[in-house]
Amino acid sequence: MIPIQPSEITPEHVYLSRRKLLAAMVALAASSLLAACSDAHTEPTALTVAGPLALEGTSTPPLPPLSSDRDELGAPLTPWEAITRYTNFYEFSTSKEGAARLARNFRTAPWTVEVGGLVARPRTFGLEDLYQFEQEERIYRMRCVEGWSMVIPWIGFPLARLLNKVEPLSQARYVRFETLYDPEQMPGQKSSFYPWPYVEGLRLDEAMHDLTILATGLYGRLLLPQNGAPLRLVVPWKYGFKSIKSIVRIDLVEEQPVSLWMAAAPKEYGFYANVNPQVPHPRWSQASERRIGEDRRIPTMLFNGYAEEVAHLYQPLDRREWYY
Ligand code: MTE
């Protein structure tokens, strides 16, 4: 994800032993950026699931228990340990495990999310308000633009339910999301390399799609800070960077928002970022991906396997704008 420094975008190094790292670097120099990378195995782990069930001082609803150990295509869930250790959260660190470590003491309560802009009823939602929405389990594939993927049993609720509460006005065409800006807690924000705060956006119809959720938990527990606690977006048919973490503001707007990645590297990242194996990133192929916890690579699917549900949003389908 980091513009300019290709060596840093290879994410897996934090999981590699030194010898594997050297082998990976040789392979990297040889050509393919991500194909040779592999991470140490984390074993599956219903037993090690250990996120909080509730936040102190906040009454949380009963979270639904895990309903399946596979996604609808039969792929096994990524182990809890991998999902919670191997994270991208640049506000804390550009290293995967560093982010999880540095986010450990992040204060996620009290928390408010302001929802406003072009709406009839602007409103500030506290945690208790967010937990009033019925929490559902959604098992989704997450495909990172860096070439790895996971299968994650999220807990959350459709973003549409929250947006309906504030009543978007007819001029509203896009939704803009913003992450907390707090350099004291988030050391990565002390670097001026990125135009903080992290911002993302969706077209209103994408935001209202039933697959688009606001997640409050995973594996039947509340989110840990490194996964975007207490509230993050999940848009499963787009590259993972669209799924913005630790949201404090949501605005309905008329103009297409400029995301952090569009501002940081406009030649590499556009607004839509829908997964498409046939459209390479300017610096690497997107044809395949490595499931975290597995060695083999698997073919990447158009819209990350959700084409039936979302392809109608993008007509004509061959417009390049949809896929970067
Ligand atoms: N949101 C914020 N605020 N900051 C980030 O660095 N990283 C994005 C996305 N949301 C990121 C973010 C990227 S690149 C990915 S792949 C996913 O979060 C990763 O989510 P996970 O760490 O929970 O797997």
**What pLDDT score does 296 carry?**
86
Greatest alpha-carbon pair distance for the chain in Å reads 59
Name which of 2, 10, 15, 18 is nearest 35 in CA terms.
10
Taking CA atoms only, the protein residue closest to ligand 1 atom 4 is 89
More confident residue, 131 or 41: 131
Q: How far is the CA of 210 from the centre of ligand 1 (A)?
A: 21
Taking CA atoms only, the protein residue closest to ligand 1 atom 13 is 241
Query: Cα(307)–Cα(313) distance, rounded to whole angstroms?
Result: 10
Instruction: Report the atom number in ligand 1 closest to the C-alpha of 233.
Output: 10
CA 107 to each of CA 102, 153, 234: distance values in angstroms, whole numbers, following the listed order: 12, 24, 21
Phi, psi angles (nearest 5°) of residue 259? -80, 165
Query: Cα(255)–Cα(268) distance, rounded to whole angstroms?
Result: 21
- State which amino acid sits at residue 135: Q
Question: DSSP readout, 136-197?
Answer: EEEEEEEE-TTSEEEEEEEEEEEHHHHHHHH-B-TT--EEEEEE---TTT-GGGG-TTS-SS
**Residue 64's pLDDT band (cuts 50, 70, 90):** confident
Taking CA atoms only, the protein residue closest to ligand 1 atom 14 is 241
Residue position matching structure tokens 């009290």: 110
CATH, range 6-322 = 3.90.420.10
Q: How far is the CA of 24 from the centre of ligand 1 (A)?
A: 24
Q: Percent of the chain scored above 70 by pLDDT?
A: 81
Q: How far is the CA of 170 from the centre of ligand 1 (A)?
A: 31
β-bridge partners, 199:
178
Ligand 1 neighbours, Cβ below 6 Å, are 1, 87-91, 144, 179, 198, 227-228, 240-241, 243-246
β-bridge partners, 168:
119
299, two tokens: 């073919």
Taking CA atoms only, the protein residue closest to ligand 1 atom 10 is 244
Boundaries of every domain in the chain: 6-322
**Residue 213's pLDDT band (cuts 50, 70, 90):** very high
Segment 216-226, tens digit of pLDDT: 999 989 999 99
Taking CA atoms only, the protein residue closest to ligand 1 atom 23 is 227
Burial annotation 132-152 (CB, 10 A radius, 16+ → b, else e): ebebebbbbbbbbbbbbbbbb
Mean of the pLDDT values across residues 279-300? 96
**What pLDDT score does 66 carry?**
84
Mean of the pLDDT values across residues 76-91? 96
User: Which of 56-65, 77-86, 120-129, 131-140 bottoms out in mean pLDDT, i.e. has the lowest?
Assistant: 56-65
